[in-house]
Structure 1
Amino acid sequence: MSDDLTDAQTAAIPDGYSQLNWSRGFGRQIGPLFEQNSGPGQACLGFRVEEHHTNGLGNCHGGMLMSFADMAWGRIISLQKSYSWVTVRLMCDFLSGAKLGDWVEGQGELIGEEDKVFTVRGRIWSGDRTLITGTGVFKGLSPRKPRPGELAFKAEA
């Protein structure tokens, strides 16, 4: 995949979104991905469904949507806790599909934390259609220095 964005990838990116700099590894393969910060510790991820995201029917592949859910929902841990994390469990209910050219968004809400195991409720949507709902369980590996848009880690007393 080239570092240059195609015309289709940059067409009609919603206001407030900027491209994430995930330029290596898996993020590079499925990107480009975009982020809209809505305040400290809050963000929404998005992507435009391109040909490399589709299945044989021209719909966004369920594996792409689930991978995106993993990143979009787990992102809340980075944003609110400044922790590196890995996925323990991801449970998704597929409710609708996305087609080539659709703009897809996703966001998670931190609903529980115990012993650095975080539970997140999430949603993936396109326009007014909910594509996926579900929950994720993520293991916090270690605190790290906050990045732009992330809240500072607070050590427990």
Structure 2
Amino acid sequence: MLGDGSETVDGKDGWRHWLPGDPTRFIAVLGDMHVRTDAAGRAIVRMMPEHRHSNVLGAVHGGVLMSFADTALFAAAQVLGVEAAEGAVTVDLSAQFIGAGRIGIALEAEVEILRTTRRLIFLRGLIRQAETNILSFAGTVRRASTGTPA
């Protein structure tokens, strides 16, 4: 869920906390996330990788990047106003690792909606860290059925 929009994060207007609900679920392992939209109509989702997100080489673990990409699909759909985005499920997620992520520098996923249908949302995105491309991804999300728990 989005914050009420009245707060600023990191001193920048437009950033809102993105609260995925129950903090005892898997998604909590990613830590705090923030979301905003940009002038191009994309969603930007941010997380800060910590030591617990690292692999044995000291870089951001690939599983964390995949989890962040998957989560960014839902945060983006929600912040961009797609109906029934909350409670939706991932149908597929394709990713290409482009570079290594560093711990302690914010990761930002730029996500755009390519198309929506009655049941599906098609999205693509790019996870960047500073000026470095880290992961390219595309995914399909199935909207939640009205009245059906996820």
Larger-gyration structure (1/2): 1
Partner of 1:114: 117
Residue identity matched to 2:50: E
- Quick check: 2:54–2:103 contact (8 Å CA) kept in 1? yes
Matched pairs, number: 132
Q: Which has the higher strand share?
A: 1
Distance in 2, matches of 1:130 and 1:42, equals: 17
Moved over 6 A (4+): none
Partner of 2:43: 43
Greater shift after overlay, 109-118 or 60-69? 109-118
Distance in 2, matches of 1:97 and 1:67, equals: 15
**Compared with structure 1, are the counterparts of its residues 82 and 143 closer, same or farther at alpha carbon in structure 2 (3 Å cutoff)?**
farther
Partner of 1:130: 133
Residue identity matched to 2:73: W
Q: How big is the shift at 1:123?
A: 1.0
Q: How big is the shift at 1:74?
A: 2.9
Paired residue for 2:92, among 64, 89, 94? Answer: 89
- Quick check: 1:74–1:120 contact (8 Å CA) kept in 2? no
TM-score by length of 1: 0.73
The Cα offsets for residues 23-65 of structure 1, whole Å up to 9 and x where unpaired, read as 51122222122223448x8531111110111111110001101
- Quick check: 2:58–2:103 contact (8 Å CA) kept in 1? yes
TM-score by length of 2: 0.76
**Compared with structure 1, are the counterparts of its residues 18 and 80 closer, same or farther at alpha carbon in structure 2 (3 Å cutoff)?**
closer
Aligned-pair identity in percent equals: 25
- Quick check: 1:58–1:99 contact (8 Å CA) kept in 2? yes
Give unmatched runs, 5+ long, in structure 2.
Answer: 1-8
- Quick check: 1:75–1:108 contact (8 Å CA) kept in 2? no
Distance in 1, matches of 2:138 and 2:26, equals: 22
Q: How big is the shift at 1:131?
A: 0.8
- Quick check: 2:43–2:112 contact (8 Å CA) kept in 1? no
